[in-house]
A and B are shown apart, each in its own frame.
Chain A
Amino acid sequence: MKIPKPDMSGTAWARRLLVAAGVAMIAFALFGGGAASLSTSPYLKFVVKVTLAVLVLALPLTLAAGWLIGKVVPVVVRPIVQGACIATALIVAIALPAVLGHGRDPAMPSALPRNYATGLWTVLAVVWAAAIVLIVVRIVRRRTHP
């Protein structure tokens, strides 16, 4: 099937404007007052650390987990298990700083006031309960409408 080309009239100017605006914003950060802060050693170390942690550690682990799921999980439930695993990994990553609790301050009990480990398990239980319901529905449907 031949893919129709969209109308690109006006695109060239839009592209130039976007690139110019983007370069101007970066230049503003680098030369308009941010250079001193952005070039500090702790910040640059942080940039390198978190970027490498995501690209060299987290993403390859995700790919490995995806490969493993593809090998061991039956096809009939695979999409739901994949979805639940994606949600689990992301929720754990987002909740981790609160669960570890390094930001707690005994003098200020209103900061990080909850039991975040329990909270995380609760949210994950909801995610997997929903996944199990979807799996049951999928299996029942397959049996009634093969």
Chain B
Amino acid sequence: MPDFGAPRTGPLPSLTVMKAFPSKLRSPRLTSQLGLWLGAMFGVCFLTGFISHEIQHPASWFWWPARPVWLYRVTQGVHVATGLASIPLLAAKLWAVFPRLLNLPTVKKWTQVKDWAQLIERVSVLVLVAAAIVQVVSGVLNIARWYAAMGFFFTVLHYWTAWIALGALLVHVGVKLPVIRRALSAPIRPLRQPPTGLTRRGLLGTIAATSAVVTVATVGETVRPLAGVSVLADRDPRVGPQGLPVNASAQAAGVRAAAADPGWRLEVTGPTGSVRLSLDDLAAMKQTTATLPIACVEGWSSSADWTGVPLRDLVALVGGDHGSQVTAVSLQQYSAYATSIVDPPHARDPHTLIALRLRGEPLHVDHGYPCRLIAPDRPGVLQTKWLSRLLVGSPS
């Protein structure tokens, strides 16, 4: 590894450990620069992930608009793209601090911890490293749908581990702040010898370029113009029934027979009573066409023209108003996504549809035939397919 002449500040790991890692490329400056970018990217992932979680499991204070229609598509696309782009940074950061990780206190040294701050810092480093690795590995496995490799329900654990990862990151930054500030503000000394390998700038450039390559190779799953070059994207927004991907098939959901049943009716219940509507009844109502994206929590998204009955017309049919909330219930059973709540901003939006057609054709059964919910600015898991009932009421 090259001889890099950047100043070293802060306590060093023991000489024994350092001798095993002769690269002079490691320095507090490199570690701080990597940490700065990684911290920013983890912050973006946490914020966008938190938004996605709150949309699906809203706290009483949370509010999410129906417009612009593409907002969730952007926040979740950024979430996954940033998470993937952060992997090279995390790897470089772990490489840069590896000797220090090996130099974590032995049992004897744990008993010699001087104060609570030192104890918290040492524990937070272990927690931070494990949580960061778990977040990116589980994220990659999830978008590749390799759920068996995890063995747990991804979304719940990804959410709670994110709190731990960001919490440990804040503790770490708080403890290391003087070292970080010194490292970033110290002047760079000229090199004593010409480098024989990557310099600090070379390494940072390599990491940035790798993140850029990973982004271009995957972001086409949501940025349609790049779909042709995103050869590692887990989805292609152009591929699927009726040219649109799906995340759950009718066969996997166990609804094929129920969806094809000629006796199917959509039951709409509200303050003034219930109505049961056949597909012909729905088709006879005023139809609206809207261009809306399906935006999956896994980061892919794709827009299409949907045609159907505005949900607010059905709400009005059973005595609901602009303040009504709707519960959409699927034919699907035994699934966490078999029902969804449509809050008033979305329920009254003229582009929230009970869709009967996609791109001018009847819905493919994998897209929710006989009818499905499609609303602007919501995650795909809340765009309930194979509808059986709509319950109109007041927000709880």
Interface residues of A (CB under 8 A from B): 1, 3-6, 8, 11, 14-19, 21-30, 33-34, 37-38, 40, 42-43, 45-47, 50-51, 54-55, 59, 62-63, 66, 69-70, 75, 78-79, 82-83, 86-87, 90-91, 93-95, 97-98, 100, 102-105, 107-114, 116, 118-120, 122-123, 126-127
Contacts and interface: CB of A to CB of B under 8 A. Distances in A.
A112 B143 CA distance: 9
Given A22-B168, A47-B134, A51-B133, A110 B240 contact: yes
A5 B182 contact: yes
Q: How many B residues are at the interface, by size bracket?
A: 35 or more
B175 A15 contact: yes
Contacts, number: 252
Contacts of A111: 145, 234-235, 245, 247
Interface of B: 1-2, 7, 9, 21, 23, 84, 87-88, 91, 94-95, 98, 101, 117, 120, 124, 127, 129-130, 133-134, 137-138, 140-141, 144-153, 156-157, 159-161, 163-164, 166-175, 177-178, 181-182, 185-187, 189, 195-199, 202-203, 205-207, 209-210, 213-214, 217, 231-236, 239-241, 244-249, 251-252, 366
Given A22-B124, A62-B91, 7 more contacts: A34-B164, A46-B138, A63-B98, A70-B197, A112-B235, A120-B231, A120-B232
Contacts of A110: 235-236, 239-241, 244-246
Contacts of A18: 170-171, 173-174, 177
Contacts of B205: 83
B378 to A, nearest CB: 20
Contact of B134 (A46, A109, A118, A122): A46
14 contacts: A16-B174, A19-B170, A24-B167, A25-B163, A25-B164, A28-B163, A37-B160, A50-B134, A63-B98, A104-B145, A110-B246, A114-B231, A114-B233, A116-B232
B145 A6 contact: no
